Chains A and B, each alone.
Chain A
Amino acid sequence: MNERVAAAFALLPDYLAWHVVLSAGALALGFAISLPLAVAASRSARLRWPVLALASLIQTIPSLALLALFYPLLLALSAVSQAVTGRGFSALGFLPSLLALTLYSMLPILRNGAAGILGVDPAVREAADGVGMTSRQSLFQIELPLAAPVIMAGVRTAAVWTIGAATLSTPVGQTSLGNYIFAGLQTENWVFVLFGCAASAALALVADQLLGLIEVGARDRRPVKVIAGLAALLAGVAVAVAPLVGAAGRPTAYAVGAKNFSEQYILADLMADRLQAQGVQVKRKEDLGSAVAYRALAAGELDAYVDYSGTLWTNVLGRKDNPGRAEVLKQLTAELQRRDGVLVLGSLGFENAYALAMRQDRAAALGVGSIADLARRAPQLTLGSDLEFLSRPEWKAVQSAYGLNFKAQRSYQPTFMYRALTSGDVDVISAFSSDGRIAAQRLVALSDPKGAIPPYDAVILVAPRRAHDARLLAALKPLIGKIPVEAMRAANYSVDRDSGKASPAEAAKALERRLGF
Chain B
Amino acid sequence: MAGPLIELSDVEKRYGAQRALAGVSLSVAAGEFVALVGGSGSGKTTLLKTINRLIRPDAGRIAVQGEDVLAAEPHLLRRRIGYVFQEVGLFPHLIVGENIGVTPKLLGWDRDRIAARVATLLELVDLPTEIAGRLPAALSGGQRQRVGVARALAAEPAILLMDEPFGALDPLTRDALGSDYRALHDRLGLTTVMVTHDMAEAVLLADRIVVLKDGRILADGRPADLLATTADPDVRALLEAPKRQAERLRARLSEGAA
The answer to whether A and B assemble together is yes
Q: Are A132 and B93 in contact, with the CB atoms below 8 A?
A: no
> Is B114 part of the binding interface, using a Cβ–Cβ cutoff of 8 Å?
no
Q: Are B85 and A126 in contact, with the CB atoms below 8 A?
A: yes
Shortest distance between the CB of A225 and any CB in chain B (Å): 15
> Is A128 part of the binding interface, using a Cβ–Cβ cutoff of 8 Å?
yes
Interface residue count on the B side (C-beta < 8 Å): 26
User: What 7 pairs between A and B have smallest CB-CB spacing?
Assistant: A127-B89, A132-B79, A123-B87, A132-B78, A130-B83, A123-B89, A134-B75
Alpha-carbon separation in the docked complex, A142 to B76 (Å) = 18
Q: Are B91 and A127 in contact, with the CB atoms below 8 A?
A: yes
Shortest distance between the CB of B74 and any CB in chain A (Å): 8
> Is A398 part of the binding interface, using a Cβ–Cβ cutoff of 8 Å?
no
Tell me which residues across on chain B come within 8 A of A221, comparing CB atoms.
93, 135
Using CB atoms and an 8 Å cutoff, list the residues of chain B in contact with chain A.
Answer: 52, 54, 74-80, 83, 85-93, 102-103, 106-107, 135, 151, 155
Which residue of A has the minimal Cβ distance to B151? Answer: A131
Q: Are A129 and B85 in contact, with the CB atoms below 8 A?
A: no
Knowing A123-B87, A134-B75 are in contact, say whether A129-B92 is a contact too (CB < 8 A).
Answer: no
Tell me which residues across on chain B come within 8 A of A133, comparing CB atoms.
75, 102, 106
Tell me which residues across on chain B come within 8 A of A194, comparing CB atoms.
none
Q: Are B106 and A131 in contact, with the CB atoms below 8 A?
A: yes
Which residue of A has the minimal Cβ distance to B80? Answer: A132
For the A-B complex with A126-B54, A131-B102 known, give 13 more contacts whose Cβ atoms are closer than 8 Å: A121-B89, A121-B92, A123-B89, A124-B90, A129-B54, A129-B78, A131-B78, A131-B79, A132-B77, A132-B78, A132-B106, A133-B106, A221-B135
Tell me which residues across on chain A come within 8 A of B77, comparing CB atoms.
132
Shortest distance between the CB of A314 and any CB in chain B (Å): 66
Main secondary structure of the interface of A (DSSP, over half): helix
Q: Could you list some 6 contacts between A and B, CB below 8 A? A: A123-B85, A123-B86, A123-B88, A127-B89, A132-B79, A142-B93
Tell me which residues across on chain B come within 8 A of A123, comparing CB atoms.
85-89
Q: Are B85 and A130 in contact, with the CB atoms below 8 A?
A: yes
Q: List residues of A (188-243) whose CB comes within 8 Å of B's CBs.
A: 221
Alpha-carbon separation in the docked complex, A244 to B75 (Å) = 51
> Is A296 part of the binding interface, using a Cβ–Cβ cutoff of 8 Å?
no
Q: List residues of A (401-425) whose CB comes within 8 Å of B's CBs.
A: none
Which residue of A has the minimal Cβ distance to B89? Answer: A127
Tell me which residues across on chain B come within 8 A of A126, comparing CB atoms.
54, 85, 89
Tell me which residues across on chain A come within 8 A of B85, comparing CB atoms.
123, 126-127, 130
Q: Are A131 and B83 in contact, with the CB atoms below 8 A?
A: yes
Q: Are B92 and A132 in contact, with the CB atoms below 8 A?
A: no
Q: How many A-B residue pairs have CB under 8 A?
A: 60
| Most B C-beta atoms less than 10 A away, residue of A121, A129, A132, A145 | A132
Q: Are A127 and B90 in contact, with the CB atoms below 8 A?
A: yes
Alpha-carbon separation in the docked complex, A146 to B136 (Å) = 14
Alpha-carbon separation in the docked complex, A132 to B73 (Å) = 10
Tell me which residues across on chain A come within 8 A of B83, comparing CB atoms.
130-131
Alpha-carbon separation in the docked complex, A129 to B49 (Å) = 11
Tell me which residues across on chain B come within 8 A of A82, comparing CB atoms.
none
| Most B C-beta atoms less than 10 A away, residue of A126, A127, A146 | A127
Using CB atoms and an 8 Å cutoff, list the residues of chain A in contact with chain B.
Answer: 121, 123-124, 126-134, 137, 142, 145-146, 221
Alpha-carbon separation in the docked complex, A419 to B224 (Å) = 99
Q: Are B106 and A130 in contact, with the CB atoms below 8 A?
A: no
Alpha-carbon separation in the docked complex, A145 to B92 (Å) = 10
| Most B C-beta atoms less than 10 A away, residue of A131, A133, A145 | A131
Tell me which residues across on chain A come within 8 A of B102, comparing CB atoms.
131, 133
Q: Are B89 and A124 in contact, with the CB atoms below 8 A?
A: yes
Q: Are B76 and A124 in contact, with the CB atoms below 8 A?
A: no
Q: Are A132 and B89 in contact, with the CB atoms below 8 A?
A: no
Q: Are A132 and B91 in contact, with the CB atoms below 8 A?
A: no
Tell me which residues across on chain A come within 8 A of B92, comparing CB atoms.
121, 124, 146
Q: Are A142 and B91 in contact, with the CB atoms below 8 A?
A: yes
Which residue of B has the minimal Cβ distance to A123? Answer: B87
Shortest distance between the CB of A126 and any CB in chain B (Å): 6
Alpha-carbon separation in the docked complex, A123 to B77 (Å) = 20
Alpha-carbon separation in the docked complex, A62 to B3 (Å) = 71
Shortest distance between the CB of B52 and any CB in chain A (Å): 7
Tell me which residues across on chain B come within 8 A of A142, comparing CB atoms.
91, 93
Which residue of A has the minimal Cβ distance to B84? Answer: A130
Q: Are B87 and A132 in contact, with the CB atoms below 8 A?
A: no
Tell me which residues across on chain A come within 8 A of B93, comparing CB atoms.
142, 145-146, 221
Q: Are A130 and B91 in contact, with the CB atoms below 8 A?
A: no
Which residue of A has the minimal Cβ distance to B135? Answer: A221
Tell me which residues across on chain A come within 8 A of B87, comparing CB atoms.
123
Tell me which residues across on chain A come within 8 A of B106, comparing CB atoms.
131-133, 137
Tell me which residues across on chain A come within 8 A of B74, comparing CB atoms.
129
Which residue of B has the minimal Cβ distance to A137? Answer: B106
Q: Are A132 and B103 in contact, with the CB atoms below 8 A?
A: yes
Shortest distance between the CB of A146 and any CB in chain B (Å): 6
Alpha-carbon separation in the docked complex, A284 to B254 (Å) = 98
Tell me which residues across on chain B come within 8 A of A132, comparing CB atoms.
75-80, 103, 106-107, 155
Which residue of B has the minimal Cβ distance to A135? Answer: B75
Tell me which residues across on chain B come within 8 A of A128, comparing CB atoms.
91
Alpha-carbon separation in the docked complex, A126 to B90 (Å) = 10
Shortest distance between the CB of B63 and any CB in chain A (Å): 19
Shortest distance between the CB of B67 and any CB in chain A (Å): 15
Tell me which residues across on chain B come within 8 A of A137, comparing CB atoms.
75, 106
Tell me which residues across on chain A come within 8 A of B151, comparing CB atoms.
131
Alpha-carbon separation in the docked complex, A126 to B74 (Å) = 13
Shortest distance between the CB of A432 and any CB in chain B (Å): 64
Tell me which residues across on chain A come within 8 A of B54, comparing CB atoms.
126, 129-130
Alpha-carbon separation in the docked complex, A131 to B103 (Å) = 6
Alpha-carbon separation in the docked complex, A145 to B102 (Å) = 15
Q: Are A130 and B75 in contact, with the CB atoms below 8 A?
A: no
Tell me which residues across on chain B come within 8 A of A130, comparing CB atoms.
52, 54, 78, 83, 85, 89
Shortest distance between the CB of A141 and any CB in chain B (Å): 8
Shortest distance between the CB of B244 and any CB in chain A (Å): 34
Which residue of B has the minimal Cβ distance to A127? Answer: B89
Alpha-carbon separation in the docked complex, A124 to B136 (Å) = 12
Which residue of A has the minimal Cβ distance to B83? Answer: A130
Alpha-carbon separation in the docked complex, A121 to B91 (Å) = 10
Tell me which residues across on chain A come within 8 A of B88, comparing CB atoms.
123, 127
| Most B C-beta atoms less than 10 A away, residue of A121, A130, A134, A145 | A130
Alpha-carbon separation in the docked complex, A121 to B89 (Å) = 9
Tell me which residues across on chain A come within 8 A of B75, comparing CB atoms.
129, 132-134, 137
Shortest distance between the CB of A111 and any CB in chain B (Å): 22
Alpha-carbon separation in the docked complex, A131 to B83 (Å) = 7
Shortest distance between the CB of B152 and any CB in chain A (Å): 8
